[in-house]
Amino acid sequence: MRYNNYRYIYCKEGIYYFTRRIPKSLQEHYVKSKIVFSLRTKSPIAAQKRATQLAHQLDEQWELLRWRDAESIFSRFSSKEQRKSSAPTLTESAQIYLEQKANGRPKTFESAVHRCIKSFIDIAQDKPIDLYTREDVNKFRDHGLMRGLSASSLIRNLNTLRALTNFTARERGIPPLNTFTAVYIANQDKGVQKRKAIPLNTILDIQKECLEINDEARRIIALLSDSGMRLSEALGLTKADIKSKNSIMYMTIKNRSWRRLKNKTSERIIPLVGASLVAIQESMKATNNEFLFPKYCNEDELKANSASATLNKWLKKRVSQGCVIHSFRHSFRDRLRSVECPTEIIDSLGGWSKSTIGEKYGEGYPIEILFKWIKMIKEDE
């Protein structure tokens, strides 16, 4: 292919970028329709030279993908005995995946992976991962729906299988696999019960009762009620995570070996106010352990499922149908909205994903600014 001057590049703020649209026939192999990245140069000549080399590399890669897609079309005409593969089986792939991904995750993560691949193997057998077909996946989908599995559970299983097989393919240099991608599931929202926020007057009643009982389980609920934390984030707290600056007590939420966070934006600081402040103060006094909630967390294990079952059982009699322990997090966001807290600060306090690129820059808000807004939810009561 011949490349004219200044093809596949453009200049932004003095820096040249490579850009090339992915052919429609190959877009299923990519997560975006266009490839764009910085060439890290201000020289148009250097940029064009790099872009030409990259374009040639892409052409070669795309040619291989086209051949692979053609082979997958013809492979259905081959007998199963003729089809060979050196790829790991699904069971072997699970081991490869868990060796890299299970570190620092709770035991439930590994159990969920094993449970997922067992249910798939029961339907489609334990084969090399590049020999599974969409027919295998559709049988798995149909069997799950037939036995009453919810759409959300089925999607979660398919996501696990896709992540597992794609990770193994990359690790072993196998061409990208699309077998578990874009599986159609009708009525995905059917039977899914949306979590509700807990009304403020109910929260106040629960906080009062929790602080009167003042045991470990009730202190966890009180902590969640005015902080917007996820349950696992609260359970994994240690005394070292509680700090003070300018008379403001706050929590630092970070990845720990016993408790992984959901994503990078979950790392944050949360000023303590109201029932959450009292719950932390009482927990600091109540335990000689470095962990604030030792019944549910230690260096080896985070018992999030056990805690969730216990807390939701107690909470069930005190809240309306559809409300669970996670509902405090929904309420927290609503309460911040009600005092006209800026969305960027709401996201920062709750550890929600940043909505714009600009929000990802800088070190975040000072503790004093976060405290100014979070204390307003108590002043508004």
Cα 183–Cα 76–Cα 115 angle in degrees, nearest 5: 40
> Has residue 128 been placed in a domain?
yes
Residue 15 within any structural domain of the chain:
yes
How far the first Cα of the chain sits from its last, in Å, is 69
Q: How confident is the model at residue 357 (pLDDT cuts 50, 70, 90)?
A: very low
Burial of 41 (C-beta count, 10 Å sphere; 0-12/13-18/19+): middle
Closest CA to 267 of 195, 209, 368, 352: 352
Most confident residue range from 70-79, 105-114, 292-301, 356-365 = 292-301
- Domain assignment present for residue 22? The answer is yes
Claim to verify: residue 103 and residue 208 sit in the same structural domain: no
- pLDDT of 190: 55
Closest residue by Cα to residue 157 from 192, 165, 230: 165
Instruction: Give residue 68's pLDDT.
Output: 62
pLDDT the model gives residue 352:
86
Tokens matching residue 149:
């599995």
Q: What is the pLDDT of residue 72?
A: 54
**264 in the same domain as 218:** yes
What is the mean predicted confidence (pLDDT) over 269-283? 97
Q: Do both 232 and 274 map to the same domain?
A: yes
Mean pLDDT of 37-50: 89
pLDDT band at 188 (very low <50, low <70, confident <90, very high): low
| Average of per-residue pLDDT across 127-139 | 91
**How many independent structural domains does the chain possess?**
3
Which residue range is the domain that position 358 belongs to?
A: 200-379
- Domain ends where: 121, 153, 172? 172
Say whether pLDDT at 191 is over 70: no
pLDDT at 61: 81
Q: What phi, psi does 265 have (nearest 5°)? A: -70, -10
Give the predicted TM-score (pTM) of the model.
0.62
Q: Is residue 6 over pLDDT 80?
A: no
Strand partners, 245: 248
Q: How far is CA 291 from CA 89, 114, 280, 351, in A?
A: 41, 30, 11, 22
> Which pLDDT does position 354 carry in this prediction?
62
Q: Token digits for 323?
A: 């409300």
Stretch 281-310: mean pLDDT, rounded? 93
Mean pLDDT of 341-369: 77
| Average pLDDT value for residue range 2-24 | 81
Q: Region 25-33: what's the mean pLDDT?
A: 79
Stated as kind and residue range, the H or E segment containing 315 is: helix 304-316
Edge-to-edge, what's the strand order for the sheet holding 268-271? 242-245, 248-253, 268-271
Residue where a domain terminates, one of 75, 101, 129: 75
Cα(339)–Cα(124) distance, integer angstroms: 54
Of 247, 95, 106, 102, which Cα lies nearest the Cα of 172? 95
Shared domain for 19 and 61, answered yes or no, is: yes
Task: Tell whether the model's pLDDT for residue 284 goes beyond 80.
Answer: yes
Q: Is residue 180 part of a domain?
A: no
Asked if residue 132 and residue 14 are part of one domain, the reply reads no
2 vs 178, higher pLDDT: 178
Is it the case that residue 79 has pLDDT exceeding 80?
no
Are residues 207 and 354 located together in one domain of the fold?
Answer: yes
Residue 63 is predicted with a pLDDT of: 83
CB 253 within 8 A of CB 266: yes
Q: How large is the average pLDDT for residues 192-207?
A: 86
Q: Are residues 57 and 101 in the same domain?
A: no
Has residue 233 been placed in a domain? yes
Query: Does 74 score more than 80 pLDDT?
Result: no
Is residue 239 domain-shared with residue 366, that is, in the same domain? yes
> In the chain, at which residue ranges do the beta strands (DSSP E only) sit?
9-12, 15-21, 34-38, 242-245, 248-253, 268-271
**% of the chain with per-residue pLDDT over 70:** 89
Average pLDDT along the chain? 87
Whether residues 67 and 99 share a domain: the answer is: no
Which residues on neighbouring strands pair with residue 17, listed in sequence order?
A: 10, 38
Residues 265 and 318 in one domain: yes
- Last-in-domain residue among 75, 100, 118: 75
What are 313-343's pLDDT values in tens digits?
Answer: 999 999 998 899 999 999 999 999 999 999 9
Q: Is residue 179 part of a domain?
A: no
- The DSSP string of 167-180 is HHHHHHTPPP--TT
Same domain, 248 and 301: yes
Residue 230's pLDDT band (boundaries 50, 70, 90)?
very high
Please report the sign of the dihedral spanned by the C-alpha atoms of residue 282, residue 286, residue 289, residue 291. negative
In a domain, 314, yes or no: yes
> Does residue 34 belong to any structural domain of this protein?
yes
Structure confidence at residue 350 as a pLDDT band (50, 70, 90)? very high
Phi and psi at residue 48, to the nearest 5°: -65, -35
Look up the CATH number of the domain holding residue 261: 1.10.443.10
Residues 63 and 97 in one domain: no
Residue type at 286?
A: A
Per-residue pLDDT for 124 more than 80?
A: yes
